[in-house]
Amino acid sequence: MSAEVILETKNLTKLYGDFVAVDGLNLTVRRGEVFGLLGPNGAGKTTTILMLMGLTEPTDGEVRVLDLDPVRQPLSVKARVGYLPERVGFYDNLTARENLTYIARLNGLKRQEAHERVAETLAQIGLEHAADRRVGTFSRGMRQRLGVADVLIKRPQLIIMDEPTQGLDPEAAREFLDIIRRLKETGITILLSSHLLYQVQAVCDRVGLFHRGQMVLEGTVPELARQVLGGAYRIRLEAHGDDLSAVLREIPGVLAVHHDAPAIYDLEAESDLRAEAAAAVVRAGGRLFSLNIEESSLDEVYAHYFQQYQREQEEVEHAAV
């Protein structure tokens, strides 16, 4: 938990005119982590990333990336951090190899070194068969993989990807997430943004939920679930017999029981209490038909958070009236 801090922002703020795109962001990412910056479109994810890369100047606050200041030392930051922009583009009239060679040369690699590095990276990402094809003929999934190769050319210590799975079909998205997992195994720190929470929750060690330029929630997925949903584990059981709600509520660690349909009980629990629930049903003379655990998804966490948020907003409006 106390690994070296790779990226840190303090009160990071960006205004466009009067519009607050990023509002006092505090973010810490440690070495080896995969951090997910999640939130709906327009939440301020891209703006944050541009400030991390030194491509846009912060209005206020501090940024440290690999202990460097992206505003003062943009070249050092950009030499060490790989950035895969949202809907990344390539020179369609050039081949994959030519596209990557240009990037290698911009990173100061000598001709020979650049050729070797490009070949190596293309192999790593499984695109060597298409190396000499014009990128104009590539599919969306291949382009996204080429984007990863592009980022790996400079052998980065930190990779920042903006909406990397956007526009990919489910198969391509899964392949892409596999690539991210493999990168993580090599020890690279990754920050990725997405507005499709379910796609990335599986690869992220920690996530931050973004809303209107602010990070409203931060932590591991189960942590967030506990915070927002009350229970991190949802157990659904089907049992016939008398109303078992009271019995189930008695089990230590059960936070709530919902009984909305006949014979169906939904439990919110602090831990995996399937065995205890089964025992309780049997003891009470009920007949157990099925017992399933659902881990809460980020989508749920998010939806729940927004319901709360909207309720609060409405209350504020009511109070104002």
Partner 1 sequence: MPQSDVTREREGSPWTGLWAVVAKEMADHLTSVRMLILEVLILLTATGTVYAATQNIRNTGNDKFIFLKLFTTSQDPIPAFVGFLGFLVPLTAIALAFDAVNGEFNQRTLSRVLAQPIYRDALLFGKFLAGLFTLALVLTTIWLLIIGLGILRLGIPPSGEEVARGLWFLLLTIFYGGIWLALAMVFSIVFRQPATAALASIAVWLFFTVFWGIISDLLAQTIHPIRIGLPEEQLAQMQLALALTRISPNTLYLEAIIATLNPTIRSLGFVLPMQLQGALLGAPLPLGQSLMLSWPNLTGLVAATILLFALGYVLFQRQEVRA
Ligand X SMILES: Nc1ncnc2c1ncn2[C@@H]1O[C@H](COP(=O)(O)OP(=O)(O)O)[C@@H](O)[C@H]1O
Q: How far apart are CA 67 and CA 187, in angstroms?
A: 18
Q: CB-wise, 46 or 121, nearer to Mg ion?
A: 46
* DSSP 3-state percent helix, strand, coil across the chain (nearest 5): 40, 30, 30
> Which is nearer to Mg ion, 37 or 114 (by Cβ)?
37
DSSP structural state of residue 251: S
Interaction residues for ligand X, span 41-70 (CB under 6 A): 41-47
Question: 3-state class of 139 per DSSP?
Answer: coil
The residue among 186, 153, 191, 157 whose CA lies nearest residue 76 is: 157
What is the closest distance, in whole angstroms, from the C-beta atom of residue 284 to ligand X in the complex? Answer: 49
When asked if residue 46 is in the footprint of Mg ion (CB under 5 A), the reply is yes
- Measured from the Cβ of residue 110, the count of other Cβ atoms closer than 10 Å reads 10
Instruction: Report which DSSP code applies to 131.
Output: T
* Residues within window 3-42 making contact with ligand X, judged by CB under 6 A: 16, 19, 21, 39, 41-42
**Are residues 13 and 59 in contact, defined by beta-carbon separation less than 8 angstroms?**
yes
* Contact range with partner 1 by CB under 8 A, out of 45-53, 122-130, 199-207, 224-232: 45-53
19 makes contact, choosing from Mg ion, ligand X, partner 1, none, with CB < 5 to 8 Å by partner type, with ligand X
Give which of 134, 131, 129 is closest to 94, Cα–Cα.
134
Distances (CA, A) of 292 to 199, 259, 287: 22, 15, 15
Secondary structure element (H or E) that encloses residue 17, with its range = none
Q: For residue 151, what are its two tokens? A: 């980022």
Contact string (CB under 8 A) for partner 1, positions 12-41, x = contact: -----x------------------------
By a kind-dependent CB cut-off of 5 to 8 A, residue 43 interacts, out of ligand X, Mg ion, partner 1, none, with ligand X
Listed residue (173, 225, 241, 231) closest to 203, CA to CA: 173
- Stretch near partner 1 under the rule CB under 8 A, chosen from 99-107, 124-132, 224-232, 264-272: 99-107
> Is residue 57 close enough to count as binding partner 1 by CB under 8 A?
yes
**Torsion sign, CA atoms 301, 166, 35, 74:** negative
7, 25, 90, 165: residue in contact with partner 1 (rule CB under 8 A): 90
Residue 264 or 303 having the CB closest to ligand X: 303
Is the CB of 21 or the CB of 183 nearer to ligand X? 21
Closer by beta carbon to Mg ion, 21 or else 96: 21
Measured from the CB atom, the residue of 108 and 241 that comes closer to partner 1 is 108
Q: Which of 50, 96, 221, 237 binds partner 1 (CB under 8 A)?
A: 50
Tell whether residue 95 is a contact of Mg ion (CB under 5 A). no
Residues of the shown chain interacting with partner 1 in the complex, contacts defined by CB under 8 A = 17, 46, 50, 53, 55-57, 71-76, 78-79, 81-83, 85-93, 102-103, 105-108, 150, 154
